[in-house]
Structure 1
């Protein structure tokens, strides 16, 4: 257990710690000369057998953090008070409650420290009446604070009066307290000192706020991001193989950029998975009753968190001003990022460092810069305000947008992988994974999402039977809950495996749906197909030429060719210039053959001669290949992209597919293998002449975005 002192200057905090432990915590020359504490001091007191963890060799030492009482060093006091388990509030019997007594008590209350004892020091210098008067004053001061029920013990460091009794009460508190739960959390240690020790190297000291750290562990210093390895550990002033939550530890660190100067008070040594410094944090803020006026918008303050101190601005999130003695939600915009975790306590002081303003708890470390006061956002903050991470996660999943980025939630709450896995299992969360992204949805939201996707696809096919499917991005923006694009693609992959949806390039469709020509269109296609193939297949007639040959309206020919392009029978290589899919695949083979000979590249002239067509048409064909990534152009030379050689394989036989057992198309095969799907129905040229918008998410002038399967 860590015990921290608090109280006014010259009330005997350091003398009391020395009387309890035999250790003088004033280590600086200036402290010795001036007789006051300037920096944090540390002492340790072995706990007799019988206290929590004493037999096991862990938790058998009380750690004392002695803080300065001068008003100029309140910022140091806050750094020392963060992470303590119990406060030893020191009040001199002759002076009674003084200004720094009240400020230190307010800080202890804001930090949520509930265990404490009041030492009425210098009791030997006053009468029994004065002791009773001072005790009554203390009781009145403690009323309404976290230490309202703390015992008041008169002591004298000079005569030793009741020092043994106070020591025993601390031992009893240690037995009752036990040890902090170290499991389920990742390690975080708040650095309050950094120095070099001969024969050891760079050493940092601080309180382990969560988790456990062992010799040989890889850690990061945040927010700087310096990587280090733990060479050795002293926990509670004893050599140890590991330090756990609640221990004061000294870590000897080794690393390429690790030095005494590179690490300073306010840094955090932590598990590398937790390194994500925050500079915009939503929080609850309680304003102290003694403040002269409400908090204005964009008020500058000094933020104290753990051992860090940074400048910040307050953005009010509630409608009403935050009045003295009240609590509200705010956003803290920091001048420099800090390493923190959701639920951490903080203290705010004014920019002149003359008074403590208030404090509270961090709610969200990734607060938005915009739309921070919408009803949906405030509802999320209601969930994040719940103390238990499981309750907070359940609350978030039940509120818009009805999904949570699980890896980010675990990181910001310092949860270990096993603890997060237990939460997910307990709550029945449905996980959607894509590379490093892991999105969680509650079971009802997942069912609603899948029903919405299937329903919208059915409705789209009913209204647009001649279109290959609905645009992937358009579908994502229509359904609820709306997921990030990578997660939504993973959802569609899962639905594809369940035979509920099919990914066809940039389109999404239902199994069994295929673009089919009506009887008249099919007859026209059968008349057109021979004229696109045969000996002149590398220079087929354009739309207007086909219309003239068949004495059919040009618009009708164009519509039928568009439909057949969507089925993968033809490809529109240039404006109104369609090639049979087999011909396109044959031309890919010709280009690959040309590039197969040293030096592995070919020219447009070589390709023109092989396909025996004009230069203009040859250039259009090669530019079509360039756009689809089949060829890679460098100046006048091209080489083949071997990963795209099968992009224009034979089209799927949609006519043989049935609703009960949809065969796998080339597009689905490519998706499964992680390649871009076959470009069925992809208009890809710049000319807009004679084109109408294509419903489904994209117009006919743009190439749909590539689809890549999730890992």
Structure 2
């Protein structure tokens, strides 16, 4: 259990901690000279049952409230100190308010200097303290008269703290590790050491951590937990980590940083939160109110953006967006405190709700519903409510990271809610089962309507289909959704086009007759150098315009592709040539190849080979830099059937084929042959004809 002191300057906090533990928390020369605590002090009290109480002794001077806030993070138990001769003072009330805003609900009040106060004075002070703690998390807390000088009441206080520790519920170490750094220093022969309270999870010797928000990687060489050498440090303990790494130095780490599991490194400078304004604040909090935000051991400038229509009045609460001067490392549901910009007074505080809010449209009904869902403390209830709110899909990986959930906790959440997961690698979009059924039904309905209106087209472009469906999924996740929908055989994916399995695009009888004569001319041994439109017109006796029109239509049907002007290749040939390019790249050093190497593999002319490669460049199959090309494996299926995932209902890891690196995902570039510029050509049947 970690115990934090609170109270006015010179009320005996440090002396009381020394009386309880035998350790003087004032370690700085200036502190001893002036007789006041300036920086955080730490002490430890071993108990008979083997447990160790950790004490964080904070400054009581108003100038050092920001330091007090740095020490208040992670405390389990508040020890409010009030001097019997002085009574409740301004910093007593401010520290009490901070403890309340930090969500501390367990504590005791030590009425110090009891040896110099008459019984009547002690009774009077007890009444004052009762009134001061009313309405706070410490309401009803026991008040014990003590004297650090004579030892009066110290043994009883020590026993009460031990009993409170025995009643404490062990903090779960299952979540991912976070430690709020409050000191960083070097020890001779040891190296860089950081200390702080473990806010969640556990850390072990040998673990790799990040220092956030800087992103500095480090390794835990050794550690102390509750002032003892240990192999593991857990949530609810104070730890000292000896860190090693190429760039690890004392100057690279500072108070306010967070040492954490690398999976949690995602700093943010914009946070949606709930703000409670203290009743004593003289004015309401208005739009873009400037403040100093205190979170864990960090302090940063911030602006308070109201999410409601009216200012937040003293004693009231409301939704806000906190826009920070610089990023911090935080987690959803963390507590925070804000003070005025001049650091003269504490204004209020609350909990973080959403670490990734939008900068615009933040007051829409949809955002309000999402924030309401994210306020639930229970992860299952929160994520379930989030999926019930528009857009009815959410990234479970981001949710788990911001809630510091471990992989095991995330898996249990997915199973408990029976979620459908669209695993697109970097993101894992989750949909509730009922919403997935609605999505797939809408998908089939939309395809049926499109086919009825466009019987001569192979299918609808993926991007056009994505924008027509709800929930509107991110493009990579939509690819996985289509793959899952295709597994039951009702939907077929043809390159960038989607169609019902029952749909078959058809030409008129006359056009089919002409195509039956043209298709063989494009295939066979000459398939890598097929005749152009004028040559086909001459050999078939058809008008050139008619041949061109039919080949354009064949392109729309997904039977052929116009590589260059009036130069059409059968779709299976284009697919084959993409495979040839991949083979050439695989055999080339570093995967980079030239047009000449590709030409030699096709036994083709240089001009045609370059035209083919430029066609692949336009469609993202190849990436060209100074006439040296590489294969984009995620686009290799652009002219052939998709490789479907064999995973189960959880989505699994899909084939990388079909996931684009391009911003538009499926090509926003102009496409020869009259295709929709948002959709690339569909697939062709393998024989190239009907």
Which TM-score bucket, shorter chain as reference? Answer: 0.7 to 0.9
Tell me the distance in 2 between the aligned counterparts of 1:463 and 1:29. Answer: 85
Q: Choose which of 253, 259, 262 in structure 2 pairs with 1:272.
A: 262
Q: Choose which of 177, 183, 194 in structure 1 pairs with 2:184.
A: 194
- Tell me, yes or no, if structure 1 residue 82 matches structure 2 residue 82: no
Alignment of 1:565-584 (within 5 A): 565-579=555-569
**SS of residue in 2 equivalent to 1:30:** helix
- Tell me, yes or no, if structure 1 residue 398 matches structure 2 residue 388: yes
**Does the 8 A contact of 1:279 with 1:338 survive in 2?**
yes
**Does the 8 A contact of 1:25 with 1:41 survive in 2?**
yes
Tell me the distance in 2 between the aligned counterparts of 1:381 and 1:644. Answer: 36
**SS of residue in 2 equivalent to 1:261:** helix
**1:555-612 residue CA offsets vs partner (Å, 9 max, x unmatched):** x654432333345544333344445568879999999999999x986669x99x9879
**Does the 8 A contact of 2:671 with 2:677 survive in 1?**
no
Larger Rg: 1
**1:21-55 residue CA offsets vs partner (Å, 9 max, x unmatched):** 11111111111111111111111111123xxxx3x
* TM-score, with structure 2 as normaliser: 0.87
Q: Choose which of 242, 251, 266 in structure 2 pairs with 1:252.
A: 242
- Tell me, yes or no, if structure 1 residue 321 matches structure 2 residue 311: yes
**1:319-361 residue CA offsets vs partner (Å, 9 max, x unmatched):** 1211111000111111111111101100101111110010000
- The farther-off stretch of 444-453 and 615-624 is 615-624
**SS of residue in 2 equivalent to 1:3:** strand
**Does the 8 A contact of 1:222 with 1:269 survive in 2?**
yes
1:15/1:634 CA distance change after superposition, 3 Å: closer
- Tell me, yes or no, if structure 1 residue 63 matches structure 2 residue 37: no
- Tell me, yes or no, if structure 1 residue 474 matches structure 2 residue 464: yes
**SS of residue in 2 equivalent to 1:209:** strand
**SS of residue in 1 equivalent to 2:456:** coil
**SS of residue in 2 equivalent to 1:315:** strand
**Does the 8 A contact of 1:3 with 1:65 survive in 2?**
yes
**Does the 8 A contact of 1:539 with 1:617 survive in 2?**
no
Structure 2 unaligned blocks of 5 or more:
646-653, 660-665, 684-690
1:211/1:642 CA distance change after superposition, 3 Å: closer
Alignment of 1:203-602 (within 5 A): 203-526=193-516, 528=518, 540=531, 542=533, 546=537, 554=545, 557-579=547-569
**Does the 8 A contact of 1:466 with 1:563 survive in 2?**
no
Aligned to 2:138: 147
**Does the 8 A contact of 1:540 with 1:579 survive in 2?**
no
1:570/1:230 CA distance change after superposition, 3 Å: closer
1:185/1:521 CA distance change after superposition, 3 Å: same
**Does the 8 A contact of 1:465 with 1:515 survive in 2?**
yes
**Does the 8 A contact of 1:379 with 1:399 survive in 2?**
yes
Tell me the distance in 1 between the aligned counterparts of 2:513 and 2:363. Answer: 61
> How far does residue 250 in structure 1 lie from its aligned partner after superposition?
1.1
Tell me the distance in 2 between the aligned counterparts of 1:286 and 1:199. Answer: 47
1:703/1:522 CA distance change after superposition, 3 Å: closer
Tell me the distance in 2 between the aligned counterparts of 1:73 and 1:594. Answer: 68
Would you say how many aligned residue pairs link Structure 1 and Structure 2? Answer: 664
**SS of residue in 2 equivalent to 1:208:** strand
Aligned to 2:36: 36
Aligned to 1:173: 164
Tell me the distance in 2 between the aligned counterparts of 1:617 and 1:161. Answer: 98
Tell me the distance in 1 between the aligned counterparts of 2:243 and 2:630. Answer: 51
- The farther-off stretch of 558-567 and 147-156 is 558-567
> How far does residue 488 in structure 1 lie from its aligned partner after superposition?
0.7
> How far does residue 524 in structure 1 lie from its aligned partner after superposition?
3.2
> How far does residue 245 in structure 1 lie from its aligned partner after superposition?
0.7
**1:122-178 residue CA offsets vs partner (Å, 9 max, x unmatched):** 122222111111111111111111111111111112222211111111111111114
> How far does residue 541 in structure 1 lie from its aligned partner after superposition?
5.7
**Does the 8 A contact of 1:631 with 1:638 survive in 2?**
no
1:274/1:331 CA distance change after superposition, 3 Å: same
1:305/1:550 CA distance change after superposition, 3 Å: same
> How far does residue 287 in structure 1 lie from its aligned partner after superposition?
0.5
1:474/1:83 CA distance change after superposition, 3 Å: same
Tell me the distance in 1 between the aligned counterparts of 2:81 and 2:635. Answer: 80
1:339/1:582 CA distance change after superposition, 3 Å: closer
Q: Choose which of 99, 107, 118 in structure 2 pairs with 1:108.
A: 99
- The farther-off stretch of 529-538 and 172-181 is 529-538
Tell me the distance in 1 between the aligned counterparts of 2:217 and 2:612. Answer: 52
1:471/1:94 CA distance change after superposition, 3 Å: same
1:497/1:647 CA distance change after superposition, 3 Å: closer
> How far does residue 526 in structure 1 lie from its aligned partner after superposition?
3.7
Aligned to 1:655: none
**SS of residue in 2 equivalent to 1:489:** helix
Aligned to 2:46: 46
**SS of residue in 1 equivalent to 2:252:** coil
Tell me the distance in 2 between the aligned counterparts of 1:440 and 1:282. Answer: 22
**1:394-430 residue CA offsets vs partner (Å, 9 max, x unmatched):** 1111111111111111111111100111111111111
> How far does residue 254 in structure 1 lie from its aligned partner after superposition?
1.2
1:440/1:631 CA distance change after superposition, 3 Å: closer
Tell me the distance in 2 between the aligned counterparts of 1:109 and 1:703. Answer: 59
> How far does residue 628 in structure 1 lie from its aligned partner after superposition?
5.7
**Does the 8 A contact of 1:502 with 1:668 survive in 2?**
no
Aligned to 1:667: 641
Structure 1 unaligned blocks of 5 or more:
55-59, 650-665, 707-711
1:616/1:93 CA distance change after superposition, 3 Å: closer
**SS of residue in 2 equivalent to 1:153:** strand
Tell me the distance in 2 between the aligned counterparts of 1:333 and 1:118. Answer: 36
Aligned to 1:57: none
**1:194-230 residue CA offsets vs partner (Å, 9 max, x unmatched):** 1111221111111111111111111111111111111
Tell me the distance in 2 between the aligned counterparts of 1:669 and 1:582. Answer: 16
- Tell me, yes or no, if structure 1 residue 126 matches structure 2 residue 100: no
Aligned to 1:163: 154
